[in-house]
């Protein structure tokens, strides 16, 4: 199985900060990676697919990059509604696997 | 509006069989290119993919659970059903049903249900 190591698990930031979350794969997954946002009590929301493609309707402050084994999700200017959890997903091969998640807290 | 809604027992006993139903709205499980997956998340742990069924009835399972899982679709009811046999307390988790769609050369999950908590306890 492909392992996804997501870091950090937790980060504290101010409104307006630029933050970056990393997802490292245990083997080459090309660009077959997605990023999701999950708010408490809500279904996860697709932000980025194919490592860097912005899902329709997602604000442009979210961006993704990377290929192979290292990927990043960047939020260019944190907004109050962005303080929640994020996780990555690889769809390169079965079984599909997920990162452990990152919680972004207001400092 | 696309929605997926999980239903099933909140509590099952060890060794029992769990049956979960995902009711789909706003799209059909028979639509070309659509798939519906089951994913679970044990308390405090990462998400774990379980199984998928595609519009053409192609299916894939998590290999480590293959002998316990069955995924089926009921096209007349527009539902997807997951059964898991021989339940154990370690199977306690929130179970999600999720739609997948093709984006470019791969499928990604674009809509998730709210999830249903299943506790395994005697």
Torsions phi, psi of B63, nearest 5?
-65, -35
Rounded Cα gap, residues B92 and B79, in angstroms: 23
The two tokens of residue A38 are 């999950």
Count of residues making up chain B: 122
Share of chain B above pLDDT 90, in %: 93
Residue B43's pLDDT band (cuts 50, 70, 90): very high
A-B C-beta contacts closer than 8 Å: 55
Q: What kind and span of H or E run contains B122?
A: none
Radius of gyration in angstroms for the set of CA atoms belonging to chain A, rounded to a whole number: 13
Helix and strand numbers (H, E) in chain A are 0, 11
| A95 interfacial to chain B (CB closer than 8 Å) | yes
Edge-to-edge strand list for the sheet holding B79-84: B3-7, B18-25, B79-84, B69-74
Q: How distant is the Cα of A27 from the closest Cα of chain B, in angstroms? A: 18
Rounded Cα gap, residues B89 and B27, in angstroms: 34
Measured between CB atoms, which of A42, A46, A100 is closest to B109?
Answer: A46
Pick the residue from chain A with its C-alpha nearest to B59. Answer: A94
Q: Return the residue matching tokens 């639509």.
A: B31
Q: Which residues, 6+ apart, have CB-to-CB distance to A57 below 8 Å?
A: none
Radius of gyration in angstroms for the set of CA atoms belonging to chain B, rounded to a whole number: 14
Q: How distant is the Cα of B56 from the closest Cα of chain A, in angstroms? A: 18
DSSP alpha helix (H) spans, chain B:
none
CB contact under 8 A, B112 and A43: yes
Pick the residue from chain B with its C-alpha nearest to A41. Answer: B114
Pick the residue from chain B with its C-alpha nearest to A47. Answer: B110
pLDDT tens-digit map of B63-85: 999 999 999 999 999 999 999 99
Q: How distant is the Cα of B114 from the closest Cα of chain A, in angstroms? A: 5
Q: What is the pLDDT of residue A64?
A: 98
Inform me whether the pLDDT recorded for A38 exceeds 90.
yes
Q: What is the pLDDT of residue A41?
A: 83
pLDDT tens-digit map of B104-117: 888 999 999 999 99
Q: What is the pLDDT of residue B27?
A: 96
| A66 interfacial to chain B (CB closer than 8 Å) | no
Pick the residue from chain B with its C-alpha nearest to A99. Answer: B46
Average pLDDT for B33-40: 96
Rounded Cα gap, residues B28 and B35, in angstroms: 10
The two tokens of residue B83 are 């059964």
Q: For residue A37, which of A5, A92, A79 has the smallest C-alpha distance?
A: A79
Q: Which residues, 6+ apart, have CB-to-CB distance to B66 below 8 Å?
A: none
Q: Which residues of A touch B104 (CB under 8 A)?
A: 49-50, 53
């Amino acid at each position: 199985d492909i392992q996804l190591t997501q870091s950090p698990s937790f980060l504290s930031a101010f409104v307006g900060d630029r933050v970056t979350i990393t997802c490292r794969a245990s083997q080459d997954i090309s660009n077959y990676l997605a990023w999701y946002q999950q708010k408490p009590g809500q279904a996860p929301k697709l932000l980025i697919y194919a490592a860097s493609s912005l899902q329709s309707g997602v604000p442009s402050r979210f961006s993704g990059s990377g290929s192979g084994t290292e990927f990043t999700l960047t939020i260019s200017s944190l907004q109050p509604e962005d303080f929640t959890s994020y996780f990555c997903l690889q769809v390169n091969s079965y079984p599909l696997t997920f990162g452990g998640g990152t919680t972004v807290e207001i400092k | 509006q696309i929605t997926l809604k999980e239903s099933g027992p909140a509590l099952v006993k060890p060794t029992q069989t769990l049956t979960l139903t995902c009711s789909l709205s706003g799209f059909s499980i028979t639509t070309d290119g659509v798939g519906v997956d089951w994913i679970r998340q044990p308390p405090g742990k990462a998400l774990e993919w379980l199984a998928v069924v595609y519009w053409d009835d192609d299916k894939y399972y998590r290999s480590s659970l293959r002998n316990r899982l069955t995924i089926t679709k009921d096209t007349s009811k527009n539902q997807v059903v997951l059964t898991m046999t021989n339940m154990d307390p370690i199977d306690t988790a929130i179970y999600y049903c999720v739609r997948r769609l093709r984006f470019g050369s791969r499928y990604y999950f674009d809509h998730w249900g709210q999830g249903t908590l299943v506790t395994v306890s005697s």
